[in-house]
Amino acid sequence: MATAVEYWRWTESRWTAPDVDWRAGKVITAGVDVGSVSTQAVIVVDGKLYAYSSMRTGSDSPQSAQKAMDWATEGTGMTIDNVRYVVGTGYGRVNVPFANRTITEIACHARGANFIYGPSVRTVLDMGGQDCKAIRCDEKGKVSSFLMNDKCAAGTGRGMEVFADLLAVPIEDVGSLSLSVAEEPPPVSSTCVVFAKTEATGLLRAGWPKNRVVAAYCSAMAHRVVTLLERIGVEAEFAITGGISKNVGIVRRIEKELGVKALEPGLDAQLAGGLGAALFAYALAARAAS
Amino acid sequence: MAETTDVMRWQTKPLECWRLAKEIREQYYRNYAQAREKGGLRWVGGAWSFGAIPCGLGDDVYGLTSEPYGATIAFNKDLALECQEAAEKYGFARDLCSYMRNYWGSVLLNKYAWGGPFPKPDFVWQDHICCSHAKWYQVVSELEGGIPYFCIDVAVGPYHERTDSRVEYMVGQMHDGIQWLEKITGRRYDDEKLIEAVKNEIRCTSLWAEICTLNKAVPAPLDEKSMYSLYVHLVLNRYTPEVVSFYQTLRDEVKDRVANQIAACPTERCRLMTDTQPPWAFLKIFRYMESYGAVSIGSLYTYGLMGIYDDQPDGSWGAKVTPMERGVAIKTRDQALRAYAEWTLAKPLWQHFYNPALKSRMMARLAREWQVNGVLLHYNRGCEGLSIGIAENRLALLKEGFPVMPFEGNMGDEREFDDTRVMSRIDTFMETLGLRKLY
């Protein structure tokens, strides 16, 4: 029996800074972002990024947090005992067994975006697994206001996973495929992922090619989050974090509709939450020491 | 409790009149249910209907107001779901007013929220302030076998634009309503009872405004969650001497709490206000915020649903001077109805039906004068009437410099409230206000 292809499955990753000797560092801190779809563990040595892992969240949040931390430290010789302070964030933040404190993902994404994109960022769009947030922040990455989408999976990573499976397109190819259309099709329903899926099924049956259907969905998602952004008001510079930031089809459409270019990330913007948490942990460790 | 002791900033104690408040409420629902046994009459109508007018039919006439009844059902999640499903099964759409669906469901199931079958009303006494209210009792009249239905149109524009002819339009309908009441009940109307009931209602709604004004004090003597149980008499039987007496007692107690700095929430560090009806099945959000030291001191909804306000000599907002205090004669039926119409038109929560800017101004004023640090806006899918313009209100409050956290929900249909997500949103809002969990 053939194994079913899981088109929604994105590539898990890990990284360690090759030129950093953590043993020479004074303060090692970590942030663990347990989201509904993915978990990131980020390790910071003296305020500088040292290592990270990004993997799927399983059904057991404490175990996901532990696995992500183990994978981030794999081969480095570092153990949890070497980490002075850990901040848990994300949907499952209360389930990080080794966290010293929890901080909400909105605060962490703003702080992480400040690190990734620089202090000029004033508006952050975090497109996560099950919700998206429009965040306004200051030059230090401190949140000044925020808005979240309502009770619906449309415009989220989970919604995109559903579509990747429906269309049998690997999730990492969805964005570029959606940009291959000669003409932008009308968007599908942007109010509900279930309705969007039903509509897409109808379009496929009507003979639409995959790229056109996926373009219609990316367009709907982009429009939905643009509405959220317009409610909070977009102030430059503008940056996108979360897993959907990697979907070029959605990012380009958001930029077009907003008339604002999003900053290019220097590293994986899906790490923003965990990275922000690790940086908060660094500040808290410093405060505790003083 | 050692863990929480060091986070308490103020002394607190329970309200002494709390039990009395509960007793009056329970008696109200019992009176309605048992009216027939005493040879009396039952009427039903909206909480904003002119409830003092049926009082002229006698002391044995009892009302059941729909919104607090719908809220009572909403508080009971299981019954609410049963009622909503009954209404949906009957064919009513799920996006209609959730109080209305709860109420209709209760009638359809023949289940009274206070036990036993739903007590059949003799007539409907209603007013028309929002579209749902007009249709609500048309359906009730049909479901109850075609009972008589009278509705007063009150959509005459905002208070500051009132004219004699607009007031006259309402007074004329009230006169017609009294003749109609006499006709359908066969009873002789007593103007003395009407006059007393109108005066009682004016006293109650002024007293409530006075009580809410006392909540400007730091620490707040009352928290909004408790106020929900205290304002309810204004939407039940505000025209009775018992309720006047209750609000006098409450006013004196709150004054005493202010004088002695008795806080509603001993952790008060941050003052919030909300808007519209809360999600009744999830009032725990208020206690959760208190764990951060954040207390909701009220809202335009809690204060202005029934309280009547005016500019005070010092420029602040406070209780409106009653016509009795101003020496206005209320000795005849016409004088009573005129005073009643004039007074009721000043209701804060009637103004935004004409322009959201009117509500924004009142909300910003409340936030400033009651020293509010942040605002929670309930985008209430269950009430089109009170949610209308709320997005504009948000923008206006932000412009005034108040942090605002909107959250979606439904006052009466828990299926539309996302518990986890709202709690998570509150955590973030507390963080942006610079608050940390105290316990």
Is the separation of the CB atoms in B267 and B6 below 8 Å?
no
pTM to 2 decimal places: 0.86
Nearest Cβ partner of A143 from B398, B404, B432? B432
CA dist., res. B158 & res. B143, Å (int) = 34
The type of residue at A153 is: A
Q: Tell whether B439 is covered by a domain.
A: no
Give the per-residue pLDDT at B3: 38
Tell me, yes or no, whether B233 lies in a domain: yes
Measured between alpha carbons, how far is residue B130 from residues B149, B171, B359 in Å?
17, 19, 16
Ordered by where they begin, the domains of chain A are 13-110+271-289 (3.30.420.40), 122-262 (3.30.420.40)
Contacts of A147 in chain B (CB under 8 A): 406
What are the chain B neighbours of A150 within 8 Å (beta carbons)? 408
- Is B437 part of a structural domain of the chain? no
Pairing relationship of beta strands B309-311 and B317-319 according to DSSP bridges: antiparallel
Dihedrals phi, psi of A17, to nearest 5 degrees: -65, 120
Chain B residues in contact with A91 by the CB 8 A cut-off are 424
Residue B408 has its nearest CB partner, among A143, A146, A150, at A150
pLDDT band at A5 (very low <50, low <70, confident <90, very high): confident
Closest chain A C-alpha to B319 CA, distance in angstroms: 34
pLDDT at A153 over 80: no
Rounded to whole angstroms, the Cα distance separating A273 from A275 reads 5
Q: Is the peptide bond before B219 cis (omega within 30 degrees of 0)?
A: yes
Return phi, psi of residue B197, to 5°.
-65, -40
Other CB atoms within 10 A of residue B47 CB: 23
The pLDDT value given to residue A198: 82
With CB atoms and an 8 Å threshold, state whether A151 touches B418: yes
B408 CA to chain A: closest CA distance, Å?
Answer: 7
Q: What is the pLDDT of residues B348-360, one digit of tens each?
A: 999 999 999 999 9
Q: How does pLDDT run across A174-204, given as a tens digit for each residue?
A: 999 999 999 999 888 766 777 778 888 889 9
Q: Which residues on chain B place their C-beta less than 8 Å from a C-beta of chain A?
A: 391, 398, 403-404, 406, 408, 416, 418, 421, 424-425, 427-428, 431-432
Q: For B214-236, write each residue's pLDDT tens digit.
A: 999 999 999 999 999 999 999 99
Is residue A155's pLDDT more than 70? no
- In this prediction, residue A191 carries a pLDDT of 62
Kindly provide the ipTM of the predicted complex, given to two decimals: 0.73
Residue B169 resides in a domain: yes
Q: What is the pLDDT of residue A195?
A: 75
Contact (CB<8Å) A148/B421 = yes
- Kindly list the residues of chain A whose beta carbon comes within 8 Å of any beta carbon in chain B: 91, 103-104, 106-107, 131, 143-148, 150-151, 231
pLDDT tens, B409-424?
999 999 888 888 899 8
B438 located within any domain? no
Q: Is residue B82 included in any domain, yes or no?
A: yes
Tell me the nearest-neighbour CA distance from A105 into chain B, angstroms.
Answer: 8
Tell whether the torsion through CA atoms of B258, B264, B265 and B268 is positive or negative. Answer: negative
Across the range A211-226, mean pLDDT stands at 91
Give the domain range for residue B191: 2-432
Q: Which residue has the tokens 């439904």?
A: B410
Distance from CA of A150 to the nearest CA of B (A): 7
Least confident of A80-84, A157-161, B65-69, B208-212: A157-161
Q: pLDDT class for A154, splitting at 50, 70, 90?
A: low
Determine the pLDDT at residue A290: 83
Name the stretches of chain B with pLDDT < 50: 1-4
The total number of structural domains in chain B stands at 1
Phi-psi region of A46 (alpha: psi -120 to 50; beta: other; left: phi over 0): left
- Looking at residue B1, what is its pLDDT? 32
Q: Do A145 and B398 touch (CB under 8 A)?
A: yes
| B30 within a domain of the structure (yes/no) | yes
A contacts of B408 (beta carbons < 8 Å): 150-151
CA distance A165 to chain B (A): 26
Nearest to A105 by CA among A84, A85, A82, A130: A130
Distance from C-alpha of B300 to C-alpha of B341, rounded to nearest angstrom: 21
Using an 8 Å Cβ cutoff, are A18 and A75 in contact?
Answer: no
Determine, yes or no, domain membership for B351: yes
- Share of residues in chain A with pLDDT > 90 (%): 73
How many C-beta atoms lie closer than 10 Å to residue B142's C-beta? 11
Q: Which chain A residues are within 8 Å of B421, Cβ to Cβ?
A: 131, 148, 151
pLDDT reported for residue B345: 97
